[in-house]
Copies of this chain bind each other. A is one copy, B any other.
Amino acid sequence: MGLEIERKFLVDHLPAALAELTGSAIRQGYIIVAEGGVELRIRQKQARFFQTIKAGEGLSRTEIEIELSQGQFQQLWPHTEGRRVSKTRYTVPVGDHTAELDAFAGELTGLFLVEVEFPSESASRHFSPPDWFGAEVTEDRRYKNKQLAVYGIPTT
């Protein structure tokens, strides 16, 4: 069972490196979004399909991921109606780390978020965000994909 330690930021301006990168098309939807951070998400990333079970919240949370067949994904997708996000994900090197920059599409067009995953909480605390990163939103629930899927871009 993986333990994810990641920090999430708004984007102040898009990094120059982005022009050289090819993004991955991602669509994801939530079948379950329950109290206590429990969620069941399915995701299509290019031509591959995944199911992720999450439990717990904040800096440390637990994830279980399995790969799905296209047929399994197609059976589950209708049950995510009204709780979906589409985005293009770019993988951007940031010092010793790798950032995932998400350019949202559909009703979330105009929103960009960047996430960095760390091997330890110590590494997470010592990370210096580059100048193109904006405000940190790791603890801001409104920027969780499941919240964005249901409520759209935060207005304040």
Hey, which bits of chain A sit against chain B, CB under 8 A?
A: 1, 31-32, 34-36, 38, 40, 53, 55, 64, 66-69, 72, 75-76, 78-79
A interface, over-half SS: mixed
Taking a contact as CB atoms under 8 Å apart, the answer to whether B79 and A31 are in contact is no
A40 CB contacts on chain B under 8 angstroms: 32, 40, 53
A66 CB contacts on chain B under 8 angstroms: 72, 75-76
A69 CB contacts on chain B under 8 angstroms: 69
Taking a contact as CB atoms under 8 Å apart, the answer to whether B76 and A64 are in contact is yes
Taking a contact as CB atoms under 8 Å apart, the answer to whether A1 and B79 are in contact is yes
Report the minimum CB–CB distance from A75 to chain B (whole Å): 5
Nearest neighbor of A74 in chain B, beta-carbon distance: B66
